Structure 1
Amino acid sequence: MTSVVFVHGTGVRAKSYENSFARVAAGLGRVRPGIRVVRCFWGEEHGASLGLGGASVPPRAKSRGVGGDAPLGEVRGEVLDEDDPLAVWALLEVDPLAELREFAEAAKARRGGGARPGFAPGRQDPWQAVAGKVRGLSLEAVTGGESPGAATGDAGSPAAVTGGRASLDELVSDLAPHLGPAAGRVAHEISRALGGLPPADGIEAIAARAVYALAVQRAEGPHGDDEPLAVDGADRDTVVGAFTDQLGGTGRGGFAARAAKGVAVRALNSYLSPLSSLAHTFRGRITGKSVPASGDILRYQVRGAGVRAAIRTAVREAAEGGGGPVVLLAHSLGGIACVDLLADPTERPPEVELLVTVGSQAPFLYELDALTALRRGEPLPGSFPRWINVYDEQDLLGFVGEKIFPDRVTDWRVTTRQPFPRAHTSYFAHQRLYELLAPELPK
């Protein structure tokens, strides 16, 4: 029996690894029933932590720095491209209500000065009717619809989904406990900010995106402490499209209603101005949260032997337990560690027949001459197994290897339709990845 050893990337700890492992096992099981998926969790023992409780983080000073430098909050951020849906989603990742607030400001500006107009007795405020529809949003329209289509362009071939609606069902399951509170929060914001104003077009898609973004935020924990949800962009758009339809809009025909075009760019411009200052205010919490992600990389560079030993042990146990060939499926930093392990003739486990790196920086580190076992200019050893490298163009931490190691690496481009950084964590929610892998796994 073929065994697939799943090696996680940077910043992963026990709870998030188990979530990712279950997703990978289910995805591979759909395309290769009976495949054996084996754990390789190294984050707890070999990952980074602030051993002195964050004593190195400086306190936030209220005064300007030496030399009278201006506060970072006075520096303007880059402008959002209003025609780029991923840029809008990147904004909503940070602030799910940003679009809605800007829509309300635009509605007030169109009304002009003066008090809000009243309505005839017995006539319902149209915005209260919209808020009521938002509170009634349901996921039943998603679960009862057809399975979502996938984007084209994965690995240079059409991406017709044959694995059914499993990834969409997983997303619906993740969102279901949080839909009610998210919809209630958006409905409250609509009533508060828009109540009493004349009707305006375009609210449906904006409200649908806000509800979705809030539900995702809640699913990831009150402080974002949980692992980011792995979400394929096609599944996200299916859910948001269903919400928009329920609200009476036409979200499936285009990303933003024409009347709302430009709302997101104004929202980001108003939001970014205080962003740097806000980040400094909460620097201690932000630093502590980012330590597993960035610290694991730094720690691996000087103490990576423990991670490679954990992978080697997992491969040996997989070979003994399955009695067949072993595949290493490695994400991000896990891919770097696997390349280092397999490139070292003294450490390489001979049972590995295929290496699959996903969103990995191994080719980039080779070009920097920063790999542990292979210097820049040296070829991959002849004993190095077949290597498939998967990347998404939106993933700024995913790199290509065919030009770095000609004839030794095969690059596959997938399209999760997510902005960075979620593009880096959504590979294993993308059904097309498993369909591409199915015929490549040794029998």
Structure 2
Amino acid sequence: MTSTLLFIHGTGVRQQGLAASMKLLQAQVAEYLPGWKIAPCPWGDAFGAALNKHGASVPSYVRTGDPTPSLDAQQRARWTLLADDPLIELRVAPDEAYLGAPPGPDIWGVRIAALRDDAAIEALLSNAGLPAQWAPFIDSVLADVEWQTVVTALTLSEAAASPLVARALVAGLQARLRELNLPTLAVAMRDALADALVPPLGGPPAGIKDWLLERMTAYGRRRRGSLTDLTSPVVGDILRYQARGSTLRDFIGLNVENTGARVLLAHSLGGIAAVDWLALEKRPVDVLITVGSQAAFFYEIDALASRVLGSGLPDFFPERWLNIYDENDILGYPAAGIFKGKVLDLQVDNGAPFPEAHGAYFSNRTQVWPAIADFLKGG
């Protein structure tokens, strides 16, 4: 007797993409799961996001637009990462060819050291209500072995490295202010300080804008409509699910009934919807396999539609749940630490960076498919 897996796809997938995915999935199932077949739950076109008013909400949808909000979001994300690790941009800075001595030691021993007694920087901080904080902070940086190791390893020229080092110093100062229970710099002052640090670190004079961000802004303005078409299915599907998720969950139920599937194989947002559907009431499903899913993360931030934070999963939830994630996929999350005793986590390496890693699970023949086969045999 043939058993059926129901495949619940993730965000941004529409008819053409699903057809390509099913071709791959059917080939893998035929090889790794003899006696099984796989059927799609094609929810994207019916219940995914679409510009139902032909882009009327998008400024100059057809012709142009203003990408400033998305660039602002990128800047916020950058400073969020820097708050966690002030050296992060320097750690991942690219290698550059150089003539003569490497730039890093001079950036450390000359440029940063000279900042200690920079009167203009001290005056800027005094105006922000933080007098006498700069010199002690630079002293602490110069005494820090990790700072020295990272900066002296830089092969970027001073001009190229200056904005990265400036942001690292500002983020480090913010961390020190938090440790001292002092008020941190407001965004405008934070950015002003970062700009003021660039020239003494060997960068261009103050007032010259970030060349790359300007180019990105111009690029986005010319392509606002096409960029919206590219990104709105992915982001929009998540937003629409949060607002109208019952339609997708009902569709999963209909497809389970029509196919007789007792196993759900769910990717990305499909995994969130599958967990929600299974957690609402007892279902005729024995096994759940989630791949690159955010279900545990949604629960942890109290955004999972079916379960309030702290309520856990109900007793009728399927006893067999395999959750597969790749640490290089920033949209894939482990679940065992959140739903203790309810799920088995499997970490894999799809051999690709993000975002490719998020879509590469079903091409992973060495880890993903053998694990799925073993898990189903165990049932």
Asked whether the 8 Å contact 2:65–2:223 carries over to 1, the reply is no
Tell me the distance in 2 between the aligned counterparts of 1:429 and 1:81. 31
Q: Residue in 1 aligned with 2:221?
A: 280
**Which structure is larger by alpha-carbon Rg, 1 or 2?**
2
- Quick one: which amino acid aligns to residue 362 of structure 2? F
- Letter matched to residue 400 of structure 1: P
Give the corresponding residue for 2:50: 49
> Structure 1, residues 360-384: CA drift from partner, whole Å, max 9, x if none?
1111111121112111111211111
Corresponding position of 1:339: 275
Where in structure 1 are there 5+ consecutive unaligned residues?
89-98, 110-260, 320-324
Shift of 1:349: 2.3
1:326 aligns with 2:267: no
Q: CA deviation at 1:272?
A: 6.0
User: Would you say the 8 A contact 1:54–1:288 is kept in 2?
Assistant: no
1:326 shift after superposition: 1.4
Post-superposition offset of 1:424:
1.0
Q: How far did residue 80 of structure 1 move?
A: 9.7
**Take 1:413 and 1:34, find their aligned partners in 2: how far apart are those partners?**
26
Against the structure 1 CA distance between its residues 373 and 83, is the aligned structure 2 distance closer, same or farther, given a 3 Å change threshold?
Answer: closer
Per the TM alignment, residue 276 of structure 1 is displaced from its structure 2 partner at its CA by 3.6
Note the alpha carbon deviations across 1:153-203, whole angstroms, 9 max, x for none: xxxxxxxxxxxxxxxxxxxxxxxxxxxxxxxxxxxxxxxxxxxxxxxxxxx
Alignment of 1:401-412 (within 5 A): 401-412=335-346
Percent pairwise identity? 40
Question: TM-score, with normalisation over the residues of structure 2?
Answer: 0.60
Please tell me whether residue 367 in structure 1 is matched to residue 303 in structure 2: no
Q: Which residue of 2 aligns with 1:13?
A: 14
Q: 1:396-426: per-residue Cα shift (whole Å, max 9, x none)?
A: 1111111111111111111112121111111
> 1:310-365: CA deviations, max 9, x gaps?
1112112222xxxxx611000011001100100011xx422x11101111111111
CA distance in 2, matches of 1:31, 1:272: 47
Q: Which runs of 4+ in 1 moved over 6 A?
A: 77-84
> Alpha-carbon deviation of 1:82?
9.9
TM-score by length of 1: 0.52
* Structure 2 residue 357 is matched with structure 1 residue 423: yes
| Contact 2:65 2:222 survives alignment (8 Å) | no
Give secondary structure in 2 for the equivalent of 1:338: helix
Report the counterpart of residue 209 of structure 1 in structure 2.
none
Q: What is the Cα-based RMSD across aligned positions, in Å?
A: 3.6
Query: In structure 1, the residue corresponding to 2:330 is in which secondary structure?
Result: coil
- Which amino acid in structure 1 is aligned with residue 306 of structure 2? A
Query: Whose RCO is larger (CA < 8 A, sep 6+)?
Result: 1
Paired residue for 1:382?
315
Name which of 360, 367, 374 aligns with 1:439: 374
Q: Which runs of 5+ in 2 are unaligned?
A: 79-86, 100-154, 161-209
- Contact 1:82-1:262 at 8 Å conserved across structures: no
Structure 2 counterparts to residues 140-219 of structure 1, below 5 A: none
Aligned ranges for residues 77-156 of structure 1 at < 5 Å?
Answer: none
Q: Which amino acid aligns with 1:280?
A: R
Q: Separation in 2 of the partners of 1:413 and 1:17?
A: 25
CA distance in 1, matches of 2:221, 2:290: 35
Could you tell me whether the CA contact under 8 Å between 2:312 and 2:339 is conserved in 1? yes
The one-letter amino acid of 2:276's match is: D
SS of the aligned residue for 2:56 comes to coil
Alpha-carbon distance change, 80 to 373 in structure 1, aligned in 2, over 3 angstroms:
closer
Task: Name the residue aligned to 2:288.
Answer: 355
Distance 1:80 1:426, change over 3 A: farther
Question: Structure 1 residues 262 and 316 mapped into 2: Cα distance closer, same or farther (>3 Å)?
Answer: farther
Instruction: Write the distance in 2 (CA, Å) between the matches of 1:57 and 1:354.
Output: 42
CA distance in 1, matches of 2:305, 2:360: 28
* AA of the residue aligned to 2:360: S
Report how many aligned residue pairs link the two structures.
258
